[in-house]
Amino acid sequence: MAFLTLLGITIPVAASSSGRVETSKAGEYARTQAGKPIPGVRARGYEYRGSTTLQSRSLATAYRLLLAGYGHAFPFDAAGSGATTDYYSTKGMKPSSFIGAGSYSTTATGGPVGSGGYLTVVGAQQLVYAMRASPLQKYTVACWYKGPANGNTWKHYVGEYNEATTTASYWENGASTGSPPADISTITTGGATLAWAAFAAETVYFAEGLWLPFAASELRSDFASYLYNGGSGRAVEALPFLTMGGDWPESGSDTVLGEVLGSRLTSTVVSGNTVEYEAFDFVLRSRNVR
């Protein structure tokens, strides 16, 4: 079976698929009027094609959302304040509203991961984002946070929220925890809303923010530990582009844009209940050209 990871999560590739690598050309070969062949190809890139194994419909949906690059990432990697704050996601989403009379700004360097960027929120201010609702009604939010609630020390937090059952699970620095600091509990204020928030008379910091429309631990049980990376952390992906690992790319890694193609559905009866399964075809287009 071909080995493939996206965002550190192993994709269940069907053994019959094995992975297929194709070359995509920018431009074409051609001939002059005299019939002489000429190279009109300006660049080449790889396309990786494969199929997944059959999974339950809910798991298959989560893999589809992952592979297609759904979600939003917030690197906060440019300096600015007020209207010039780098509060955009990598897809260009900006806050739908600002609540409070505080202030906010971003700093390009000095953050907890590779001295990257971070967001500063001061004094009863919320940056609120209206997210697209997940078909699974499940969400993962991850970020580095520093504020009075955790001793003003950079720590990594992951929260998973099940809107249907109103349950939540949390991790601090890669380990399971009962609950995050109060500021972190305001990050998800309902199913499809994200807020970077500060309470009155306090200054808090956020870095490497990530919002996914599925429960990442269902696809990789140690996902929180993977992001924490032993304290070094990992910079957020530039969604919808994803870091690809495994034995498909020649160098062992690549950056790809995923597309889900057709799906195949089947069902079976287990203990009198009908269980539906799904497998799908996909293509991963390399961002790197040669």
pLDDT means per 10 residues, the chain with 290 residues, are: 86 81 68 71 78 95 97 96 94 94 95 97 91 91 93 94 87 91 62 83 94 96 98 97 90 92 85 86 88
Task: Return the pLDDT at 165.
Answer: 83
Please give the model's pTM, rounded to 2 decimal places.
0.89
Closest Cα partner for 203 from 148, 268, 134? 148
Task: Return the pLDDT at 144.
Answer: 97
User: Dihedral of CA 157/246/280/57: which sign?
Assistant: negative
Are 238 and 15 contacting, i.e. CB atoms less than 8 angstroms apart? no
C-alpha triplet 146, 152, 153: angle, nearest 5°? 70
Give the span between the Cα atoms of 96 and 195, in whole angstroms: 10
Exposed e or buried b for every residue in 109-118, given b needs 16+ CB within 10 A? eebbbeebbb
Distances in whole angstroms, Cα of residue 222 to Cα of each of 101, 118, 167, 229: 39, 25, 19, 11
Q: How far is CA 189 from the centre of its chain?
A: 19
Give the span between the Cα atoms of 251 and 51, in whole angstroms: 22
Task: Return the pLDDT at 190.
Answer: 53
